Amino acid sequence: MGLMDLFKKKNSGDVAKDRLKLLLVSDRANCSPEMMEMIKNDIIEVISKYMDIDTDSLNIQITETESDSNNGTVPALYANIPIKDMKHRQQR
């Protein structure tokens, strides 16, 4: 995928195909929507201790990635978390 592919507008068929692929990967990883919501909330809770994040623009999903051990593709957790600012804690 080249840099220009990021700016290409997808037609509705491509968008539907991508959504179905994500659904299938989530199902294969045995991760329900409720479990994804719990994971998302836990990630927000932990990261919020150290930085201010934009929870409205947060995107967490399960995708596929190539296995390091050449076993094909495996589920992977993808998180895009916009950071507003770092929190500065006093050292103890």
Query: What are 3-38's pLDDT values in tens digits?
Result: 455 455 667 777 777 666 666 666 666 777 788 788
What amino acid is encoded at 53 in this protein? Answer: I
Is pTM beyond 0.85? Reply is no
Report how far Cα 48 is from the mean position of its chain's Cα atoms.
Answer: 17
What pLDDT, in 10s, does the model give residues 66-83? 878 777 777 788 889 999
- Decide if 51 is inside a domain: yes
Range 34-58 average pLDDT: 88
Per the structure, how many domains does the chain have? Answer: 1
Q: How far apart are CA 13 and CA 85, in angstroms?
A: 38
Residues 76, 22: contact at Cβ < 8 Å? Answer: no
**The residue type at 15:** V
Tell me which DSSP letter residue 58 carries. Answer: -
